[in-house]
Amino acid sequence: MAHVSRSADPFHQFIAILVIAAGASGSAAVAAEPFYLGQWKIASAVAAPWADPYREDTEEMKSLVGKTIVVKPKEIVGPRALACKGPIYRVKNYPADFLFQGAFGEMHLRDNSADPSKIAAKLGFHGSSWKTLITGCANEMEYHFVDPTTAEFGLNNYVYILKKQ
C-alpha cells in the first residue's frame, strides 16, 4: 500500500493561504457609498447673486431652512420642491461659470465686470472647479459641493446651504 502524506507541500500551503486571505478580504470589501448619499440639513439660505434685490419673497425660503433631505440611491426624500422618485445621478466637475445652471456665466455675459470666480468665492467656493450632482429629476435640481460636507443649490432666487448630518 502506498503511503499518502496528509501534510501539503509548501507551494500548496501558500496557495491555500492566499485563497483564504482573498476570501476574507473580499467579503469585507464593500464598494464605497457615493459621497452625496445620506442625510442633509438645509442649514441656511442667502439671496442669490443673480436675484433682483427688490423682489425678495422670503416665504418659501423660510419654509425650507431647517428641513432635511435624504439622498438615497433611488429617491430623494424631503420637501416637495426637492423630492424626487427615480433620480438618474451624474457627477460632473463644474467651473464657476457653470454653477447654478450657468447663472454666473450669464451674469458675466451681461456685465464683463461680473467675475464668475469671485461670485462663487462669495458663496464659499474656492478653487477652480467643484463636484456637481445632477439628479436627472423633473425639478432639474443640481447640488454643488463646496466640500465633502457642504453642498449648495439654487431655488427661486435663493442659494441654500446644505450640511451633511
Read off the pLDDT of residues 69-95 as tens digits, 9 standing for 90 and up.
999 999 999 999 999 999 999 999 999
Rg of the chain over Cα atoms, rounded to whole angstroms, equals 25
Mean model confidence pLDDT for the chain:
87
**Residue 5 has what pLDDT?**
47
pLDDT higher than threshold 80 for residue 6: no
Give the largest Cα separation in the chain, rounded.
101
pLDDT higher than threshold 80 for residue 53: no
**Residue 1 has what pLDDT?**
52
103 confidence band (pLDDT: 50, 70, 90)? very high
**Residue 7 has what pLDDT?**
52
Rounded Cα distance, 161 and 46, in Å? 8
Domain parsing of the chain, residue ranges: 38-164
Q: 130-148 pLDDT, tens per residue?
A: 999 999 999 999 999 999 9
What is the average per-residue pLDDT within 43-54?
A: 90
CB 134 within 8 A of CB 8: no
Give percent of the chain above pLDDT 70.
Answer: 81
Rounded Cα distance, 77 and 21, in Å? 40
The 3-state secondary structure of the chain reads CCCCCCCCCHHHHHHHHHHHHHHHHHHHCCCCCCCCCEEEEEEEEEECCCCCHHHCCCHHHHHHCCCEEEECCCEEECCCCCCEECCCCEEEEECHHHHHHHHHHHHHHHCCCCCHHHHHHHCCCCCCCEEEEECCCCCCCEEEEEECCEEEEEECCEEEEEEEC
What is the average per-residue pLDDT within 15-33?
A: 53
pTM of the complete model beyond 0.95: no
20 confidence band (pLDDT: 50, 70, 90)? very low
